[in-house]
Amino acid sequence: MTLKVEHIVGGYSQIPVLNDVSFEVNNGELVGLIGLNGAGKSTTINHIIGLLTPFTGTIKIDGVSLQQDSEQYKSKIAYIPETPVLYDELTLREHIELTITAYRLEQKSAWQRVNELLELFRLDNKLDWFPANFSKGMKQKVMICCAFMTQAELFIIDEPFYGLDPLAVRDLLTQIEAVKARGAAVLMSTHVLDTAQKYCDRFVLLANGQVKAKGTLDELRQLGGNQNESLDDIYLALAKEDLNGKTV
C-alpha cells in the first residue's frame, strides 16, 4: 500500500494554505507529520481524507484517487481525528455497529477484534454508555478502537496523544506497531517529538504550507551536519530558520 501526495496546492478558500506539498507513505511504515501550529498539517490530512479538494496536484492510494473511485479510496482509510467525533444519541455498542456497517465488515470477526481492543483500552464494560458519560480520553479511545477494528490499509492519525493516559499511549503505539507488521501504512501528525523520534520510520516537516525537509532521522541530521541531534533539535532549528525568513 502506498499513499502518494504529489504537488498539492490547496486550502479552505481561494488563497492556498499548502504550496506544492509532496511525500509518500509506504506499506509497513509510520511517517511522522511534523510542524508548528498553522504549518499545514491538518490541512494536509483533510485533503488526504477527502474533506478538502486540492486546487492542483494529486493524492492517490495504490494508484487510485478519490475522484477516480471514491468508494475504493475511502475504504482503505481509517482516521483518528485530534478531536473525537461521536454521535450523542448512539451508545458505544452502536458506534461499533455503525463502523461495521460503514466498512462492510464481517460481524463475528469484527466483534472479535473490537472486543480485544475494548478490553485493552478498558472500555469493555462501557458498551451501553453514551458519549456524554465519557471523558475526553475515553472518547479518544473509542475513536482508536473504531479505527483499528477496521483492518484498514492506511491509518491517518492526527495528534492522538492529547487526553490519553500513559498506559493508553503505550497501548496505541502497540497497535500502530501491530498494523505496521501486517503491512499497513500509518501517517501520524504529532507535537510529541520524543515519541515520534522513537517510533516513526520517516518524517515530513512542514512550515508555512511547504515541505521543508523529509526523510529518516539520520537523513534529517545530515541537513544540520550533526549526527547527534534529536528530532526536537532539528525541528526547532528548521522552524527558527523559517520564522527568520531564511530558506531551509
Domain locations in the chain as residue ranges: 2-76+152-243, 84-151
- Separation CA 189–CA 203 (nearest Å): 10
Q: Which three-class secondary structure state does DSSP give residue 155?
A: strand
DSSP 133: G
Supply 241's cell numbers: 530558520
pLDDT score at 247? 40
- pLDDT at residue number 226: 73
pLDDT at position 245, please? Answer: 53
Q: Which residues pair with 155 in a beta bridge?
A: 78, 186
pLDDT (tens place) for every residue of the chain, 248 residues total:
689 999 999 998 888 999 999 999 999 999 999 998 889 999 999 999 999 999 999 999 999 999 999 999 999 999 999 999 999 999 999 999 999 999 999 999 999 999 999 999 999 999 999 999 999 999 999 999 999 999 899 999 999 998 899 999 999 999 999 999 999 999 999 999 999 999 999 999 999 999 999 999 999 988 777 778 899 888 888 777 665 654 43
> Strands, DSSP E only, in 54-138?
56-61, 64-65, 77-80
Contact 199, 30 (CB under 8 A): yes
pTM of the model: 0.92
Q: Which residues pair with 185 in a beta bridge?
A: 154
Position 242 scores a pLDDT of: 64
Domain 2-76+152-243 has CATH 3.40.50.300: yes
Give the strand order in the sheet containing 30-35.
Answer: 77-80, 154-158, 185-189, 30-35, 202-207, 210-215
Nearest to 235 by CA among 188, 202, 198, 191: 191
pLDDT at 163: 85
